[in-house]
Copies of this chain bind each other. A is one copy, B any other.
Amino acid sequence: MSDKAVSGSPTLEDVARAAGVSRATVSRVINGIRNVDPAIQDLVRRAVEATGYVPNRAARSLVTRRADSIALVLSGAGDDERDLAPDEAEGDVFTDPFFGRIASGVVGFLRPRGMHPVLMLADSADARQQVVTHLRQGHTDGAVVVSTHAKDPLPERLAAARVPVVRFARPPRPMPVSYVDLAHQDGARLAADHLVARGCRHVVTIAGPLDVPASQDRLTGFRDAMARHGHPYVPTAEGNFTQDSGERAMARLLAQEPALDGVFAANDLMAAGALHVLREQGRDVPGQVAVVGFDDSSAARASRPALTTVRQPVEDMAGEMARLLLDRIAAPEGRPTSVIFDPSLVVRRSA
């Protein structure tokens, strides 16, 4: 391998000279354009090898007007700033077990294609503006955005700026944006079926924040399925997807329905909170009470007993987001697309 420093990198010109052809021809070979004599192609490739040539991305971008890179943006708070210290606000987003899986899926898809995502955080009005500007300038060709809050204005703003965007999760209000999502209702049904099959008669549920479509779907799906099983009424407490809120919700439910023998929580963190409260109250899980979570996050495996949970294939979904985005960048005029993934039940100890 050549040991040339970045500064004196060989250019197209050098390769052309070495191969005895023109820059244009080398460019064609490099970019895999047909209409080049196979013999010459070989010649060029050999010259590339010999010179240790690597294309200069800035030069290429300048003329193609494409950055050949995409942004992975985590979009936090809503319209108003929250009164957290910046550190906390950030920790909030990145600490979510989801984030790692999303990043993993996106990177996993991009890497074989020689691309890497640019990580951006949009947790304040300023930050959001910065993201929009960045994208509009073409520093990145598009964005995969994960909003942690229901009415995050960013995706709509980006779409309005004609920036290719793919969201994680269906938007709260219909808007012309591509997205990837899960069949939440089916997932909730999986949980209901499992609980009923186990013989649970007094089932309760801890819902997520109801302004989030996913929470709504999980709740609706669960209630519908329970109703079909002959349980038209399911005591419900609302949480906000944190472990603490799960604990509080569980305590309320326990007071309201002391005879409960089954719990479905809308995510694993809240399920873990429920587990703690149940143990504190001396209820054996899964002996006396069965608990089912949602997501199959690391929290599900870390809990004791380990959580039976509805798996959301987040990595695959994130990879698909990247795929949709690249498609869209290649054909900007297409209509928004959406892909819905199927959940599956992962049975562990808790139910």
CB–CB B119/A72 < 8 A = yes
Kindly provide the distance from the CB of A146 to the nearest chain B CB, expressed in whole angstroms: 13
- Shortest distance between the CB of A200 and any CB in chain B (Å): 24
Q: Does A22 contact B (CB under 8 A)?
A: no
Q: Does A59 have its Cβ within 8 Å of any Cβ on chain B?
A: yes
Q: How far is the CA of A243 from the CA of B69 in the complex (A)?
A: 37
Q: Mark A71-95, 1 if CB is under 8 A from B, else 0.
A: 1100000000000001100110111
- Known contacts A72-B119, A90-B315, A315-B91; A130/B104 CB under 8 A: no
Interface residues of A in 89-105 (CB under 8 A from B): 90-91, 93-97, 99-101, 103-104
Give 3 closest A-B pairs by Cβ, nearest first: A94-B100, A58-B61, A90-B104
Residues of A within 8 A of B (CB): 5-7, 9, 54-59, 61-62, 65, 67, 69, 71-72, 86-87, 90-91, 93-97, 99-101, 103-104, 107-108, 111, 114, 116-121, 127, 130, 133-134, 136-139, 162, 243, 269, 272, 276, 279-280, 298-299, 302, 304, 315
In the complex, A96→B58 CA distance in Å? 34
Do A116 and B108 have beta carbons less than 8 Å apart?
no
Chain B residues positioned under 8 Å from A101 (CB to CB): 91, 94-95
